[in-house]
Structure 1
Amino acid sequence: MNNLRSVDLNLLVVLDALLAERHLSRAAERLNMSQPAVSHALARLRHLLDDPLFHRRRREMVPTLRALELAVPLAEALSQIRTVLTPGAFDPAARHVFRLAMSDYGAALLLPGLMRLLRHEAPGIDLIVTQRSREGMVGAVIDGEVDLAFGVFPDLPARCESQGLLEDRYVCLLDPAAQPQPWQGLTERAYWAAPHVLVAVHGEAATEIDLHLRARRKTRRIGLVLPHWNVAPQVIAGTDLILTIARRSLDRVPPGLQVAEPPLDLPPIPFAAIHASRRRGDPALRWLEDRARQVLSGQAEGK
């Protein structure tokens, strides 16, 4: 076993970046190092750990089983070290990359205001945003593939923690001219009789609405399943479809369509940021969560 005094702990930072990026040049950019320096560090890591750590497959570096086993404990250890060295402090003037995951609803809600704030307050900070299913976002947070995920997370495993940012509500979007006549507004009877649009990233899935209805032994007819929120309002025009959607995702109501209050009791929509429990004390994550809350609270005040 290697004596800790003989180990260059900077190598562990390189390994953490390589595990996150799976790409030599991107890891070098993240670390503000040259590519040859990262290659040299990887060679030393392979010797130190007696394992190849990565295999090349096309343009990606695929981690070995040994490297994957190290990923979570390594991320936890580095997070604790950063907390010890910079307790309660994060320098937004420094170069930093945050990896985030969110749906297009979350991106529309948060990103425009957050990017304006960051470009003004912290132009050295870069964001890399990916879209995944809810389960995929939770898994990516736990595995350290992303720093924060933003969305609606009603149930979280013990290894994740949530910070509430904003509460939204459901409204219904419909084309009154295409509804069965005579149209007398969106009644509960009309709601159950209509076909509905369901937005799910990966095919058919139960949303909070459907889980809420099933708990009351009710179901709605799903006439269309879509993977994206942003196209959903456009498919309503000229049809009898009803879209039950988060109010804040409707910046503009397409011409001819109508926003109506749901004729039944639906739960609120708690928009939150989640992070891995092991990174609870990470000052960088706390800083970004605070900025996200600042952006969204400004929106709430303007509503």
Structure 2
Amino acid sequence: MSGVRAIISRGWSNIGDSSARKDIFYLDDCPHEWLFQKVSAVVHHGGAGTTACGLLNARPTVIVPFFGDQPFWGQMIANAKAGPQPIPHKALNSHNLAEAITFCESEETVNVASEIAYKMRDESGVRQAVASFLRQLPRDRLGCELVPGQSANWIYTNCKRPIRISNLAVENLCLSKDVKFKRKHLKHYGPTPILITNKRWDPFTSAGSSGMRVATDLTSSFVGIVADPVKVYLDNNKPGSADKSQLKLHGQAALASARNIDHLAVGAFKGGVVDIPLALAEGFRNAPKLWGQSVKDHGEITGWQSGVAVAGKVRIY
């Protein structure tokens, strides 16, 4: 219908027989970077990488999207007039595909694709990406107020107005004899803190996941009581290792075992008193979500102060 020859990529399928027709060739795996240099236009799903490869080689493009960002790239192609409007895969048929191929074969579309390819080759993509990233940064909230050009890592609170300072500024202030500076007034500075927390949906999965983590930690510590001292002796017997006195070697082995005993005791106490009960509490609290009810968000707990604040907001029935 469109009067062109076609190369069809089979992908994982086993469709087609290249001997059946002289104007259609079925292709197995082949690099797009090489193939797109040999054709007049491309028809594909509209993934970002495939779209970029086609445009970089000045090829008019037909997008047949079915997922994710593919409709977006199809519309971008159409807006730039480097191809027709995208054809959703469920709407694809021989008639609109032939019309799309004919559109790509027009001189205007070919010229637009060539202009885009020229711009892409002339542009430093990495430099533009970095410049775009930097434009989004809140520069007025990131820098040190004492040492220009340094990023702020700390907030110093013992003054009329808290000030942002860098590691270099902290070091200089600590060494200075003319400035009264105390580290206890420093707080870590995070202009946009990101808190990643586990979402507990019900008491069963929450207790199970927390219990499994505690059991894994305890098992690791229990095994380490024997394995770590053995490792100390094996390391001492390696060729080229420094000879140690038996007393020192026994002391290191005992210390390695004692560390694991300490971890075992702390892990058992923390798991039984804090981790598992907390996971259960969160699971019971969020359980109403399972049948469509909403649960009030009291905010993140990052320390004892925020914990007391949240506890003051919670009404006990």
Query: TM-score, normalising length from structure 1?
Result: 0.20
The answer to which structure has the higher helix fraction is: 2
The answer to which structure has the higher strand fraction is: 1
Greater Rg over alpha carbons, structure = 2
Structure with larger RCO (C-alpha < 8 A, sep 6+): 1
Query: TM-score, normalising length from structure 2?
Result: 0.20
